[in-house]
Amino acid sequence: MDNVKDIFGTDGIRGPVGPGGINTDLVLKVGLAFGKMLGERYSHPGVLVGKDTRVSSDALEASLIAGLLSAGVDVSCAGILPTPGIAYLTKSMHFSAGIIVSASHNHFSDNGLKFFDDSGNKLSEIFEKKVIKHLGSSSNLATKGIYGKQTSLTDATGRYVEFCKASSPDGFSLSGMKIILDAANGAAFKSLGLVFSELGANIIEIASCPNGININDGVGCVHPTNLSEAVLQHTADLGLSLDGDGDRLIISDRYGRIFNGDELLYVIAKSKVQKKGVGEIRGVVGTLMSNLGLEKAIISIGLEFRRSKVGDRYIAELLRETGWRIGGESSGHIIYLDAHSTGDGIISAIQVLSAILDSGIELDGLLQDFEKIPQVLINVPIAKSNNWRDNSTFLAAQQMVANELGDNGRLLVRPSGTEPLLRIMVEAQTEADAKEKADFLAKTLD
């Protein structure tokens, strides 16, 4: 990464592994800069560090730890653990911060860092700027010869598994249910099976044998066909699929139908309203990408609906601002603040399963009042040098499409915060119309 000012995206630091991207030299400097920042806030800072299953994670973790130790920060190593596990243990064990080496749902050739503060919340932009400030000054990266100590947290997985199980309501049991579990060959490959087997389910695990390069490779929540096929093959009751770091969730029902984050968020919100009442739940936070159908469905059950920027950090920030408890995005990040401070695929699955068991109604039945608006999302590869915001042809095309949609659809164009892509999302009355408009906009960028 040539410019440290651009190092942070919507969810930490992420990019291709190698020269000019995410490499051991950069991560060492980030660790040192982050440690220096912590030293300004704490007299004796300690950081919990975890990682996913990518082949590059071991080397990057070692560099990160070296940087932190060189800044005088004590480091406890959790090993391979889902991102929400790092968030939970950071808060519950009173660490100054938590960091996981992961690139989430990306290909194994990418990697990155996600950061949590001492409350288990994603690092705010204010603190990101402080890290960048230290990175931009070589004098600030000079060590003082005071080093931290490194230890291992050997029971990290067990602690996280018990935490997830404790998020289930009293009397919750999955006895008699056959469930397919897709861990994306990622960080949840141990935790996912342990949680649901100990909750009584008959589990069949797929994509739970990481080899360093198969994380998210045709598996996990960004490749739902794999889950659907397994559910049908094994005549399972349903299937759960996470991404590479365990903070996203999608679900397949017994018929192989896939339900995304918008649909699962509605199921959870509706269940909580039925249990606690509209007055206590009050509202739900989605994002700019949330389907218009979700907004209408949430309003129809008496709740307010607000949209944040894309990214679970921004969802959590808006939840704290409003005092609401439930939010999420279509990609499968779902936050239920009564259970966790951040998106957690396992805990989200428990909340959905609880709604199914409480109602005695299958997933499609719980969604009969939720009418998804046809939505098409196109990801257009785009170089940083492409000044699409000032492209008059593209701007005129956007205006034309927006005028044609009127109040019967939505148009959203935004750059990805994690990949070199421009995302073009169109919602319209028919999928064909949405696709035609999205394709038209993409072609104007050629």
Name residues whose C-beta falls within 8 Å of residue 115's C-beta, 6 or more positions apart in sequence. 12, 34, 97, 98, 99, 122, 123, 127, 128
Q: Round to the nearest angstrom and report the end-to-end CA distance of the chain.
A: 26
Of 284, 289, 320, give the one whose Cα is nearest residue 304: 284
Please answer whether residues 117 and 127 qualify as being in contact, where contact means their C-beta atoms are separated by less than 8 angstroms: yes
Tell me whether residue 104 is one of the annotated catalytic residues: yes
User: How many residues would you count in the chain?
Assistant: 446
C-beta separation of 267 from 347 below 8 A: no
Taking Cα atoms as reference points, which of 21, 216, 13 lies closest to residue 105? 216
Sign of CA dihedral 326, 316, 293, 418: negative
Q: Which residues touch 222 (CB under 8 Å, ≥6 apart)?
A: 105, 216, 243
- Rounded to whole angstroms, the Cα distance separating 224 from 269 reads 23
Options 63, 70, 76, 104, the catalytic residue: 104
Query: What is the secondary structure of 200-242 as a DSSP string?
Result: T-EEEEES----SS-TTSS-STT-HHHHHHHHHHTT-SEEEEE
Residue 87: name the closest of 19, 153, 160 by CA.
160
Give the chain's radius of gyration (CA, Å).
22
Cα–Cα distance measured from residue 442 to residue 445, given in angstroms and rounded to the nearest whole number:
6
Closest CA to 159 of 241, 92, 246, 243: 92
3-state secondary structure 362-400: CHHHHCCCCCCCCEEEEEEECCCCCCHHHCHHHHHHHHH
Helix (H) or strand (E) holding 161: helix 156-166
Active site residues: 104
